[in-house]
Amino acid sequence: DVKVTQSSRYLVKRTGEKVFLECVQDMDHENMFWYRQDPGLGLRLIYFSYDVKMKEKGDIPEGYSVSREKKERFSLILESASTNQTSMYLCASGGLGGLHQPQHFGDGTRLSIL
């Protein structure tokens, strides 16, 4: 089974802090994704990566950056956290092969910015 592990289930940070969310997958997948989930809005794509050191903006990249130094690890960075970034963050990975590949998700990190 694919395992996607997010470093924290719950995280509380203060406004202005630099926040790192870590994600590791164990299936040698090329593609990795970061989403945020908010009530009434579903999942929205922040960034994704299709290879080491490669990244692409998703639908809501503002206020975020990402890092992919190793294939199995994809980090989401909040450069200067703000209260409107309080949300559930979900990481996913998926293999090459096109549109039919399902994405496999981690348990999520519930982030609160005070």
Q: Which stretch binds other proteins (CB under 8 A): 11-19, 20-28, 66-74, 102-110?
A: 102-110
Question: Are residues 92 and 103 in contact, defined by beta-carbon separation less than 8 angstroms?
Answer: yes
Closer to other proteins by CB, 79 or 107: give it. 107
CB nearer to other proteins: give 17 or 92: 92
Q: How many CB atoms sit inside 10 A of residue 64's CB? A: 20
98 binds other proteins (CB under 8 A): yes
CA 5 to centroid of chain Cα atoms: 11
Quote the least distance from Cβ 80 to other proteins, whole Å: 26
Q: How far apart are CA 48 and CA 35, in angstroms?
A: 9
Per CB under 8 A, contacts with other proteins among 19-48 are 31, 33, 35, 40-45, 48
Collect all residues with Cβ–Cβ distance below 8 Å to 107 and sequence separation of at least 6: 6, 9
Nearer to other proteins, 51 or 79 (CB): 51
Q: Which of 93, 103, 111, 113 binds other proteins (CB under 8 A)?
A: 103
Cβ atoms of 6 and 106 closer than 8 Å: yes
SS3 state of residue 85: helix
Name the residues that contact other proteins, by CB under 8 A.
Answer: 9, 31, 33, 35, 40-45, 48, 50, 56, 58, 88, 90, 92, 94, 98-108, 110
